[in-house]
Amino acid sequence: MECNECNRTERFLLEAMIAADKAETALRCYLMTHERFAGVSDLDEYGSLKTEQQKTTEERDKAYLELVKHKQGHCA
């Protein structure tokens, strides 16, 4: 039987993985559609997408480490 904290951290990790995947997909789509030309507003959009991608990746990594550390506490 898993504890409530296990369930919470697992949900947080899944949500973070989904957010990171969405941000990565948005950035990838931008790169494919703006391959040849990008104006100033396009570069602003790129900067925004890149920042979001980095933020969500960091959140995903944090969620993973939190889950691992918590589960290790069960084995200690």
H-type helices in 1-76, by residue range?
Answer: 4-33, 40-75
Provide the domain limits for residue 31. Answer: 4-71
Round the CA-based radius of gyration of the chain to a whole number and report it: 17
* 16 within domain boundaries: yes
In the chain, how long is the greatest CA-to-CA distance? 55
User: How does pLDDT run along the chain (76 residues), one tens digit per residue?
Assistant: 568 988 999 999 999 999 999 999 999 999 998 877 778 888 899 999 999 999 999 999 999 999 999 989 886 5
Q: What is the pTM of this model?
A: 0.83
Distance CA 44, CA 38 (A): 10
* 21 within domain boundaries: yes
Domains identified in the chain, total number: 1
